[in-house]
Chains A and B, each alone.
Chain A
Amino acid sequence: MKKIKLPNPLLIFMIILGILPLLSSQHFYLHMLTLVFLFAFFSEAWNLISGFGKQFSLGHVAFFGIGAYVTGILYADYGISPWIGILLSGIGGIVLSLLIGFATFRLRAFFFALSTIACAEALRVLITYWRLGSTGLGTTIPAAKGFKYLTFSNEIYYTYLAYVLLLLAVAAAYKITKSKIGYYLLATGEDEEAARSLGVNTYRIKLIVFAISGFFTAVGGGFYCMYTRYIEPSMVFSIDFSVQFAVFAIVGGMGTIAGPILGSALLVPLSTFFRSWIGGLFTPIGFFSYGIILIVIILFIPGGIMKLISLVDEKFFKKLPIPEK
């Protein structure tokens, strides 16, 4: 019997996301969407190595920060177009990921996670000392109008750029999960010894995927610095970012493609709400309530939103591409 072929739910989901920025031209709405897309993108990149590959990184901010600094300094100090800067950021991310990977991929589980934090912190300190000599610690990105300098007066351009980034990351994740590398990655994540005993060079697989993840994160860091127009080591190398990338994916569903997007869509607005509204009344309460909500979500749906969805409907958003008979 021939089955009627349904369009890929992921594709529909992405199209719906693509329409969202057109619904309102309100600045705050678009700003929120930009952040949701951007953090979904970061979380998606993190999810490649940490979700599918189960190599839990808590130092992804290293790539983010390097990306922000490469693009930011090249533009602010040397006037190099941020478009080129972002590309160089990506290359910087690859180089950095290989360096970190070489050093840390022999470690397992918690030791790997801890060593990634150490790498990110070391970078933060290095960049801090490097920038101490110049005027002030932070760097302001000068405003120059025009597409060439990635500067737009209308927020919607940023929103769509963030959307394109997300689209690229989703496409990469989709492609990887359908490929040999993806299967090797899942096998490595599930049981590394077993994968090696089948002839999988797990070290190489982890390095490749880590490099892809680092590339995306650094590209995003470059874009982020053009969006916020100010960078400072303690900000762009803050462990808060690493944690956020992870938390969004965990809440949405680790090791799934749509998970990081759902996590980001839920938590970015929620954290803003708690920080600005409730936190406006009394600051600690904002973070406190946000923390409570995270704990509740992780306690009651350990598999994340995707787990919930898959319980409701096994057919949609499958975690693994099960080949047809």
Chain B
Amino acid sequence: MLDIESINIYYSEVHVLKDVSIIVDDREFVSVIGGNGAGKTTLLNSIGGFIPLKSGKIKFQNKEIQNIPAHSIVEMGLSQVSGERSIFTKMSVRDNLLLGGWVQKDTTKIKNLLEKVMDMFPILGERKSQIAGNLSGGEQQMLAIARALMAEPKMLMLDEPSFGLAPKIVAEVFETIQKINESGVSIFLVEQDVHMSLSIAHRAYVLENGQVVMEGKGKELLNNDHVRKAYLGI
């Protein structure tokens, strides 16, 4: 479904991503782990159309998307939940969700989706008229995910959904992501919470200094010596 073929990215002189190749299959849950500055967010933003490539190809459903603007990529069915949650804090929860849904033209469909999403996240249904900035951190993350789902993506990319959340909430968020995956949406997750993401991902890549240094099944990597030493401190 997503096919990244040896992409290179530079921030002026700095070589941030070096020949990175990643594949995500239909309905697959793939995670990328790595420390700070490994290039995880850059990778995600380049797929989303926010950062230009120096070389390489990104294919989504066999179409090259590396030169397509960000807003059109969403229309193709590839949605992104970015790192800083970036919900619209001054708008109501419902308006936030609607903004996510307007990629679709059919208004009755948007209405149905709105109901579906609120069923999936009951807390958002309860608070639909509240200003989004008043939600708790976990609720804001749920809103960001729900809003991305309003576009009915075929694949969802998430940038550190655990960031700044309490462990109990993190578990809830990951459970939700897993459910979304089970409903048929491919997941591409970039995460610092290595233990959590490796235990639910089908496959994972380890990114270090802009290079993929390891690749394998999530549970396998969890038992890998290098991963245990470098990321889990065991």
Contact = CB atoms under 8 A, between A and B. Distances in A.
B99 A198 contact: yes
Given A194-B82, A199-B151, A325 B129 contact: yes
A56 B48 CA distance: 27
Measured as residues with beta carbon below 8 angstroms from the partner, the interface class of chain A is 20 to 34
A199 B74 contact: yes
Interface string B108-151: 00000000000000000000110000000000000000011001
Contacts of A323: 92, 94-95, 129
B13 to A, nearest CB: 23
Interface stretch (A117-125, A181-189, A222-230): A181-189
B129 to A, nearest CB: 6
Given A199-B103, A201-B71, A202-B71, A193 B86 contact: yes
A145 interface: no
Contacts of A187: 88, 91, 99
Given A197-B74, A198-B151, A180 B50 contact: no
A200 B71 contact: yes
Contacts of A322: 92, 129
B91 to A, nearest CB: 7
A185 B136 CA distance: 25
Contacts of B94: 323
Nearest to B85: A194
A80 interface: no
B106 to A, nearest CB: 14
B90 to A, nearest CB: 6
A322 B132 CA distance: 12
B69 interface: yes
A167 B87 CA distance: 34
Contacts of B86: 191, 193-194, 197
Contacts of A324: 129
Contact of B48 (A186, A197, A201): A197
B26 interface: no
A187 B98 CA distance: 11
B89 interface: yes
Interface in A270-298: none
Contacts of A195: 99
A184 B99 CA distance: 7
B82 A198 contact: no
B207 interface: no
B75 A199 contact: yes
Contacts of B80: 197
A94 B127 CA distance: 41
B102 interface: yes
A183 B82 contact: no
A15 interface: no
28 contacts: A183-B98, A183-B102, A187-B88, A187-B99, A193-B50, A193-B86, A194-B82, A194-B87, A196-B49, A196-B69, A196-B71, A197-B50, A197-B74, A197-B82, A198-B79, A198-B99, A198-B103, A199-B72, A199-B103, A199-B151, A201-B69, A201-B72, A202-B71, A320-B95, A322-B92, A323-B92, A323-B129, A325-B129
Interface of A: 180, 183-184, 186-187, 190-191, 193-202, 319-320, 322-325
> 9 closest Cβ contacts across the A-B interface?
A199-B74, A194-B86, A199-B103, A196-B70, A201-B71, A197-B80, A199-B71, A190-B88, A191-B86
Given A196-B50, A202-B71, 12 more contacts: A180-B102, A187-B88, A190-B88, A194-B87, A194-B88, A197-B48, A197-B79, A197-B80, A198-B74, A198-B79, A200-B99, A323-B95
